[in-house]
Amino acid sequence: MASPVECGMGRQRWILHLDLDAFFPSVEELLNPALKGKAIIVGGDPNARGVVSSASYAARRYGVRSAMPMAQALRLCPHAIVLHGHHHKYGEYSARVMRILREITPLVEPLSIDEAFLDITGCERLWGPPLEIGALVRRRIRDEVGLPASVGIAANKLVAKIACGQAKPDGLLLVRPGEEAAFLAPLAVRELWGVGAVTAERLEGLGIATIGDLAALGADYMQRVLGDHGRGLHRASLGIDDSPVVSEHQRQSISQERTFSRDVDEPDVLAKELLRMSEHVAASLRSANQVAQTVRIKLRYEDFTTLTRQVRLDQPTDQGQRVHDAAAALFRQHWRGRPLRLLGVGVSGLLDGAGYQLDLFDDLDQRRASLDRALDTIRDRFGRDAIQRASLAKPGRRAEDDREDDATPPAEPAPRSPKPPHS
């Protein structure tokens, strides 16, 4: 395996973005070769308001897309084969892919179960030029795991990710340094990070249809229109991005954010989102065998004003209830009742969980930890949405999202300590 010294000392920065094509259906085809080439939809029950998790390219040709209601997907593609999915198998295949990536460079930042960034700067002397490295990654994943993958390569994460999207399906695209703005210019403005459906509609209403249109208007104009967010989007439109690739060993925090499709001020809706995100963040802690010392919330209002607040816990934790209690207290203290565009929950001050365990005399903590372990087991086997707490299932409208961001997705599960879980 390459070392950080071997990969990372080159003068020209090179970032590779990998995305497994139609990951869930592709795994299903490996498990059942008879499905090869057919219209496959992985998702929930259409009779229970289920949604599409993923669709094969054969189904996508009919307009089927992720997050679409399953009933709508079947109207578009009535002959599709609907599968609830083998979610535990998806995790296994993802782990195999991530191991291959870490053999190319230790600087791997997983974004989700099926995509990751690699910093391949300085790896040329080990694996060849960037294009050869991209081809190597795709070939190894195809030969050793059996999955198709697309790769984008550029001098930064922003452009590499967009290049990967342009290379799909099963392709490879490199954007050379200095060509970023020209590459981005003809693409739809919706391709930019930070541009969800609502922002895209606002920009398009101003006549900004392409990334090049946005770039031509200038940073000052964009700031007048969208505040600091607009200035950041203008910078992105030029292909400028300095964000580093952060490996699991380097990460100092875990967070999840939700940008709503419309501004939300209903307390019950926000409370459910807060609980859901707290549970997700805590599960990520347990997956990585870590505990957190600090909990924070992030509030972004309709005018893009953003507020972050945090609190240090009395004792490090990986429990969903403790994360939620702290996040909810911060929310009650700092939310002023104004409509929110974005809500986020995060934890920081991460420690190795092996050194922390429950107070053996605290029966409540033991019961909470047992419940968390049971939920983890069910979700690992049947998927993240297979079970939820009753408070999340109560009647009431759920806010639909513009974009959900796992800024720090779970790492490949660490070996679990034989000790009881920590508080």
List, by residue number, the catalytic residues. 115
- Which strands sit side by side in the sheet containing 40-43, from one edge to the other? 52-55, 40-43, 81-83
Q: Which residues of 90-104 are buried (b: 16+ CB within 10 A; e: fewer)?
A: bbebbeebbebbbeb
Using DSSP's 3-state secondary structure scheme, residue 298 falls into strand
What are the two backbone dihedrals, phi and then psi, of residue 307, each rounded to the nearest 5 degrees?
A: -125, 130
Residue keyed to tokens 């535990």: 88
CA–CA–CA angle 194, 153, 169 (5° rounding): 80
C-alpha closest to that of 138 among 174, 111, 109, 180: 174
Ramachandran region, residue 335 (left: φ > 0; alpha: ψ -120 to 50; beta: rest): beta
- Tokens coding 320: 């969903």
Contacts for 37 with CB less than 8 Å, ≥ 6 apart = 58
| CA-wise closest residue to 52 among 28, 71, 34 | 71
Residue 258 and residue 277 in contact, taking contact as beta carbons nearer than 8 Å: yes
Are 285 and 359 within 8 A, CB to CB?
Answer: no
Report the distance separating Cα 291 and Cα 294, nearest Å. Answer: 9
The 3-state DSSP composition of the chain as helix, strand, coil percent (nearest 5) reads 40, 20, 35
